[in-house]
Homo-oligomer: A and B are copies of this chain.
Amino acid sequence: MPLALYTVILTQIHSSNKVVQIFGTINMSVYSSQRIALIGLGTIGISMAALHLSRESNIVDVFDTRPDFEQYIHKTLPIYMSELPSPNTDPRSSPESQPSTSLVASLVSSGRLRIHSTLESACASATIVQEQGPENVDWKQTTWTRIEAVAPSSAHFWTSTSGIAASIQQAKMQDKSRLLVVHPFNPPNIMPLLEIVPAPETSAERVEFAREYFSLPGSRHRPVVIRKEIPGFVGNRLAFALLREACYLVQEDVVDAKDLDTILMASLGPRWAGNGVFESYQYGGGEGGISSFLNKLGGTMQTIWDGQGRINVEGDERTEWKEKVIAQVNEAYGTVSAEQIQIKEARLKDIIGIQMKDYNRHGPEV
């Protein structure tokens, strides 16, 4: 059954409160248990392992080339699993509790977590293969041909790359319809965003499967499908557009790096955490919404757009800002300590928690 049709029927079943089981096993269903092979267990990989394992019917196979891999998994995975949100509990309320290393032993002995010494054995029974390996075109292309040779033909292929499009990674694959990008945001254990970026040859059903998988009830993720491959996808394009102007303003001595951060934290950060940029201007435009806003502020906007700093980060021209920005940022923040990161992450989690809060006494979140 095509997934789209399945989705329509399932929605009808849900809305009429009947049970899902009448369909029996639907292999493509995100509601079935999955067997996920993770290739590359850096921060993103470990964070994904914790996520997949949090769904009790899943089995997770892991492979990484690091020599201390098994020991590393035993030590690191419990930290990320303990960080998964559970309603109404504050992980900082029992700061002294240490994650149990026996958690991994118990996952392994129950067969839910399987630690492999070859990529081939990790992928042999997968319904999903997800890679977080090096950002290197040759490595990605070769690895996907190796994976394709051993994984079941129905398995979905996901890459967590931030920069190498699926259409490039899939160059040497037989069936190019299987691969798509699932790009998380740092820190991946906290940030809800996943950018799902198919290549032109990726099948629509496989895109929808990934989107639904990360949208299941209880998921802390917010997957968004990007319609076209473009360098930086959407999140980093927006971030780097702002960063370019920020570096230009520091270069021009309009503001120093730390004051610019204060400005962002005291205005745009909270605004965009509470609403998107378009929603904010729809509100800011009064009764006419964003249309009024563009009419009213159009002159100022055009002046600012015409005057944007066209600095560069590579090459020899207009790169003189780098030294100043790096010096000011190092002076303002120095080397980051583990404790500072913990504090920042706790704050970030609280901000995202606010986003999940229901402020509407009369119905669902608006």
Contacts and interface: CB of A to CB of B under 8 A. Distances in A.
Contact of A243 (B262, B264, B277, B336): B277
Contacts of A290: 325-326, 329-330
A63 to B, nearest CB: 24
A350 B357 contact: yes
A237 interface: yes
A200 interface: no
A289 B335 contact: yes
Nearest to A194: B266
Interface stretch (A31-39, A50-58, A142-150, A292-300): A292-300
Interface string A155-192: 00000001100000000000000000000011000011
Interface in A231-261: 231-232, 234-246, 249, 252-255, 257-261
A366 interface: yes
Contact of A354 (B238, B242, B299, B351): B351
A325 B333 CA distance: 38
Given A269-B272, A314-B298, A234 B249 contact: yes
A12 interface: no
B242 A230 contact: no
A348 B163 contact: no
B302 A314 contact: yes
B303 A224 contact: no
Nearest to A95: B361
Interface in A78-103: 95
A299 B243 CA distance: 15
Nearest to A333: B282
A255 B278 contact: no
Contacts of A186: 284
A272 B270 CA distance: 8
A350 B251 CA distance: 34
A2 to B, nearest CB: 23
Interface string A307-321: 110111111000000
A260 to B, nearest CB: 6
A40 to B, nearest CB: 17
B330 A231 contact: no
Contacts of A269: 269-274, 276
A110 interface: no
B222 A235 contact: no
Interface stretch (A15-23, A68-76, A338-346): A338-346
Contact of A347 (B245, B252, B335, B359): B359
A304 interface: yes
B313 A235 contact: no
Interface of A: 95, 162-163, 185-186, 191-193, 195, 222, 224-228, 230-232, 234-246, 249, 252-255, 257-279, 281-284, 287, 289-291, 294, 298-305, 307-308, 310-315, 322, 325-326, 328-330, 332-333, 335-336, 340-341, 343-344, 346-348, 350-352, 354-355, 357, 359-361, 366
8 shortest A-B CB distances, which residue pairs? Answer: A261-B276, A269-B272, A269-B273, A193-B266, A241-B245, A193-B267, A192-B266, A302-B314
Given A264-B277, A273-B351, 11 more contacts: A186-B284, A224-B255, A224-B262, A241-B242, A244-B308, A261-B279, A265-B272, A269-B274, A283-B336, A298-B314, A343-B360
